[in-house]
Amino acid sequence: MRAVLAQKAGGPEVLGTELVTSPTRVGSEVLVRVLAAGVNPVDAKTRAGVGVAAGLPGWPTILGYDFSGVVVESPYRSFGLQPGDEVFGMTAFPHQGGSYAEYVSVPALNVARKPSVLSHTEAAAVPLAALTAWGATVDVAKAHEGQRVLVHAGAGGVGHLAVQFAAYFGADVTTTASAANADWLLSLGAREVIDYTTTRFDDILDDFDVVIDCVGEAKSSTATRSIPVLRQGGLLVSLPGDGIDAIVATAEAAGRRATGYWVIPDASTLSVIARLITSGDVKIAADHVFDLEQAADAHRLVESGHVRGKVVLKISDY
């Protein structure tokens, strides 16, 4: 099969398309013909030798954690997903990637039926970003009516979903983004958009119940600056997670709470998200689609930090 391999840790130039042996399905795994794969910031970080690189079996490696495609083999005859069914899901994150390839074999509990309203390129943009946004916003922050939520980088892959999930459950959502994305984010459910290019959010905001930080401490100390924006006892969820121990200590000293969050592959939650997408309550932005051979360019775009929605690799046609 064709696959994109990272030969070693390094820049985007270490990525290249090669012919490799297709995976063999074992036990409770599902073998999927991959038609599109999502490209996430964690992919680029891992390629550079950080991210979840410590969990890789070694180099060279096939990157990629989310995908959309068609079932080729199922664990058993009466399993709910059978050959020919259109699915989307995640690999065994964080120890196993592999979705930048024509085939992937993944745990059955990581795969759900693809929403029929989405193309495969759109569906591939969903799993990792949506499960991250859901975990941070719904599972951890318990988004609910009347809650005041600030989402940093609301136009990004995780951010635009966190905005929608928080708004869906009744929260009053403010987000930071560029002015070019303001109208779009308001249409997704945000009540207010702060233009981060002209305004420091911590100069004008306060008394929030929750901050969902999709930027991180490494860029403009966004996590630390978010702590005073919270009410006493408020919660900061830092998704990049860099410097999380120091962030937690600073928050506790100020009478606030903080935590990191790592995505958990889960087909049942992904099925709930699929229903919200099918009903039109949640919309997916996947405006940047590259061919498999352009994986290095896709990584460069992700690393630019200025992307609306998700970046996707188109691997083959259905």
Write down all domains in the chain, each with its CATH number in brackets.
2-126+285-314 (3.90.180.10), 129-260 (3.40.50.720)
Mean pLDDT of the region 42-63: 92
Q: Which two tokens stand for residue 27?
A: 């036990």
Rounded (10°) CA dihedral 2, 97, 119, 69: 60
The span from the CA of 237 to the CA of 258, in Å, is 6
> Tell me: the pLDDT tens digits for 65-104?
999 999 999 999 999 999 999 999 999 887 777 999 999 9
Which whole number is the average pLDDT over 159-185?
Answer: 98
Helix or strand or coil: residue 257? Answer: strand
- Cβ-based burial of 254 (10 A; exposed 0-12, middle 13-18, buried ≥19): middle
Q: What is the pLDDT at residue 264?
A: 93
pTM of the shown model:
0.96
Q: Is 49 left (phi over 0), alpha (psi -120 to 50) or beta?
A: left
- Residue 82 token pair: 């059978």
Percent of the chain scoring above 70 in pLDDT: 100
